[in-house]
């Protein structure tokens, strides 16, 4: 899958600052971009079934709470939906025993617009409970009934605004809509004696994925009429709309990353996709704009080595403006360049700025403190002592989800040797950023 920037794609509401509350007029303007002219934007809510036990994952923790880069999987899905400003409420169905854990996740990762309901013993029953909360059937419910409701599995973290908009727009017109994907394996039907009865022509069939969207009344009435058998054994909401509402859902082609995390391999895949997405931008911090500065040489080598990664450089962080810039860039990888010094001043400033920006709440931020030293010609026992401070300081900042390590780059007079050191340094930097391995925190690597 091609790497995509960690920052969400341009949103309908990107005209707003990250922390601004959209005014009604702004929202309407944003919605106007998203809808055919002359039609009112529907009120949209989402239901996320998250009450499963994840048996196929084969671990004690239900997969929606399994960590990915030390953050529960469900938090990524919530973040994906929260990026969509026109989804007004997100109802999550969790079991009673996981309710407190879910509240803790919402608080720790500062999720917004989330309401919790009790899950059911099956996925359909969990979804039904979420719909009941939106229907306003429950006396203490603060939720208002939406015109359109999105249903999306909590274990499908890679959902983007464009497919959500497609299914919602189609649901408004057809009553129901769902994302589909080409089948990878052929579907076969076994006979009672365990032999092949027949196979389906793969090209004429599709896999039903998520998100799905429905006119609220269509799907709510379908669930209210639903047989116990369907509630117990059904796996397809679109089928309920067809069977009980006689609505033929519009099928929307989805992107490859809509898949559902089901087995352990899916968790590994999710982690590598997230790592790839947050490693798309490297910011070098150096205390000079001098183009001949060796830090700019390193920047150029990094650009050559990592042609798909955005490499920028900026002066050390000193003002609140820098904080805004860091947040807006959503960069999770920093290289702090120190030449012939081994003090920690710049690193401490950068780490404090990153901490203040709350950037490391959602994703681990990699900070690499690079020291250019001609360590073959100058005694650096004293410098080494300073450099070894990195171990203790790194342990401290790890608690804030900042992965700090050091890199000593040989800085010889000889141009050819320097180029070789720069290339080796760039390779190490690229690996540290791509792998984001907390096991290397506090280490001092040498190029």
Positions touching ligand A1H0Z (CB under 6 A) are 123, 153, 208-210, 235-237, 260
Contacts to ligand CTP from residues 296-325, by CB under 6 A? none
- Interacting residues of 250 by C-beta distance below 8 A, sequence separation 6+: 170, 171, 173, 174, 176, 177, 178
Cα separation of 413 and 409, whole Å? 13
- Interacting residues of 193 by C-beta distance below 8 A, sequence separation 6+: none
Smallest CA-to-CA distance from 440 within 407, 416, 400, 409 is with 407
User: For residues 436 and 275, is the Cβ–Cβ distance under 8 A?
Assistant: yes
**Residue 227 contacts ligand CTP per CB under 6 A:** no
Smallest CA-to-CA distance from 252 within 377, 141, 160 is with 160
Q: Name the CA dihedral angle for 150, 156, 161, 163, rounded to a multiple of 10 degrees.
A: -70
The sign one gets for the Cα dihedral 145, 217, 87, 24 is negative
**For ligand CTP, which is the closer residue by CB, 57 or 302?**
57
For residue 280, the partner it binds in ligand CTP, ligand A1H0Z, none, with Cβ less than 5 to 8 A by kind, is: none
- Interacting residues of 57 by C-beta distance below 8 A, sequence separation 6+: 63, 66, 261, 262, 263, 264, 267
Which residue in 79, 255, 262, 341 binds ligand CTP (CB under 6 A)?
A: 262
Min CB(56)–ligand CTP separation in Å: 3
* Site size with ligand CTP, rule: CB under 6 A: 22
Give residue number: closest CB to ligand A1H0Z: 235
**Residue 51 contacts ligand CTP per CB under 6 A:** yes
* Residue 266: CB atoms within 10 Å: 18
For the chain, the C-alpha Rg in angstroms (whole number) is 26
Cα separation of 84 and 77, whole Å? 12
Helix or strand or coil: residue 118? strand
61, with CB counted inside 10 A (0-12, 13-18, 19+), is middle
**Residue 64 contacts ligand CTP per CB under 6 A:** yes
For residue 119, the partner it binds in ligand CTP, ligand A1H0Z, none, with Cβ less than 5 to 8 A by kind, is: ligand CTP
**For ligand A1H0Z, which is the closer residue by CB, 210 or 311?**
210
User: For residues 310 and 280, is the Cβ–Cβ distance under 8 A?
Assistant: yes
**Residue 75 contacts ligand CTP per CB under 6 A:** no
**Residue 254 contacts ligand CTP per CB under 6 A:** no
**Residue 56 contacts ligand CTP per CB under 6 A:** yes
For residue 210, the partner it binds in ligand A1H0Z, ligand CTP, none, with Cβ less than 5 to 8 A by kind, is: ligand A1H0Z
Contacts to ligand CTP from residues 101-120, by CB under 6 A? 119-120
**Residue 93 contacts ligand CTP per CB under 6 A:** yes
Cα separation of 154 and 66, whole Å? 12
**For ligand CTP, which is the closer residue by CB, 155 or 426?**
155
**Residue 49 contacts ligand CTP per CB under 6 A:** yes
**For ligand A1H0Z, which is the closer residue by CB, 208 or 342?**
208
**Residue 129 contacts ligand CTP per CB under 6 A:** no
Q: Which residues of 394-418 are buried (b: 16+ CB within 10 A; e: fewer)?
A: beebeebbbbbbbbbbbbeeeeeeb
Cα separation of 40 and 32, whole Å? 8
Contacts to ligand CTP from residues 401-440, by CB under 6 A? none
Please report which residue ranges of 83-155 form alpha helices under DSSP H: 99-108, 123-135
Which residue in 23, 53, 199, 319 binds ligand CTP (CB under 6 A)?
A: 53
**For ligand A1H0Z, which is the closer residue by CB, 80 or 447?**
80
For residue 236, the partner it binds in ligand CTP, ligand A1H0Z, none, with Cβ less than 5 to 8 A by kind, is: ligand A1H0Z
Min CB(268)–ligand A1H0Z separation in Å: 19
Min CB(51)–ligand A1H0Z separation in Å: 11
DSSP letter assigned to residue 92: E
**Residue 209 contacts ligand CTP per CB under 6 A:** no
Min CB(48)–ligand CTP separation in Å: 7
**For ligand A1H0Z, which is the closer residue by CB, 68 or 258?**
258
**Residue 123 contacts ligand CTP per CB under 6 A:** yes
**For ligand CTP, which is the closer residue by CB, 53 or 144?**
53
Tell me the window of 10-18, 121-129, 275-283, 373-381 that interacts with ligand CTP (CB under 6 A): 121-129
- Interacting residues of 105 by C-beta distance below 8 A, sequence separation 6+: 65, 72, 74, 75, 78, 111
**Residue 150 contacts ligand CTP per CB under 6 A:** no
Distances, alpha carbon 411 to alpha carbons 339, 367, 419, 420, in Å: 9, 21, 9, 10
Residue 422's DSSP bridge partners are: none
Min CB(167)–ligand CTP separation in Å: 17
Note the residues at the interface with ligand CTP (CB under 6 A): 49-56, 62, 64, 93, 119-123, 126, 153-155, 260, 262
């Amino acid at each position: 899958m091609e790497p995509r920037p960690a920052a969400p794609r341009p949103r309908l509401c990107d005209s707003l600052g990250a922390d601004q509350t959209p005014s009604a007029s702004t929202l309407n303007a944003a919605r106007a971009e998203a809808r055919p002219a002359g039609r009112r934007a529907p009120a949209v809510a989402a239901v996320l079934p998250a009450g499963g036990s994840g048996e196929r994952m084969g671990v004690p923790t239900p997969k929606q709470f399994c960590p990915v880069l030390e953050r529960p999987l469900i938090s990524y899905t919530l973040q994906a939906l929260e990026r969509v400003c026109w989804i007004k409420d997100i109802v999550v169905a969790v079991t009673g025993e996981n309710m407190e854990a879910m509240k803790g996740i919402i608080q720790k990762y500062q999720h917004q617009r989330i309401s919790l309901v009790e899950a059911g013993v099956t996925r359909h029953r969990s979804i039904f409970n979420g719909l009941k909360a939106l229907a306003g059937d429950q006396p203490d419910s603060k939720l208002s009934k939406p015109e359109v409701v999105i249903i999306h599995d909590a274990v499908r973290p890679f959902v983007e605004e464009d497919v959500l908009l497609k299914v919602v727009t189609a649901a408004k017109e057809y009553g129901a809509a769902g994302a589909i994907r080409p089948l990878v394996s052929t579907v076969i039907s076994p006979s009672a004696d365990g032999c092949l009865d027949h196979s389906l022509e793969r090209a004429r069939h599709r896999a039903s994925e998520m998100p799905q969207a429905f006119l609220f009344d269509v799907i709510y009435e379908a669930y209210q009429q639903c047989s116990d058998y369907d509630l117990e054994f059904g796996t397809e909401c679109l089928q309920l709309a067809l069977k009980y509402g006689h609505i033929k859902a519009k099928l929307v082609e989805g992107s490859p990353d809509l898949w559902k995390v089901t087995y352990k391999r899916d968790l590994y895949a999710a982690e590598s996709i997230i790592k790839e997405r947050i490693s798309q931008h490297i910011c070098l911090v150096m205390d000079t704009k001098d183009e001949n500065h060796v830090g700019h040489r390193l920047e150029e080598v990094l650009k050559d080595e990592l042609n798909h990664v955005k490499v920028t450089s900026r002066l050390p962080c000193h003002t609140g403006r820098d904080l805004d810039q860091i947040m807006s860039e959503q960069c999770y990888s920093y290289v702090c360049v120190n030449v012939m010094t081994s003090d920690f001043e710049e690193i401490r400033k950068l780490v404090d700025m990153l901490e203040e920006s709350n950037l490391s709440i959602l994703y681990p931020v990699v900070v690499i403190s690079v020291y250019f030293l001609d360590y073959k010609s100058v005694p650096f026992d004293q410098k080494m002592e300073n450099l070894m401070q990195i171990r203790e300081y790194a342990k401290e900042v790890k608690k804030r989800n900042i992965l700090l390590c050091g890199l000593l780059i040989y800085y010889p007079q000889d141009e050819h040797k320097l180029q070789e050191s720069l290339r080796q340094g760039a390779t190490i930097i690229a690996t540290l950023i791509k792998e984001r391995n907390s096991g290397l925190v506090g280490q001092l690597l040498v190029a």
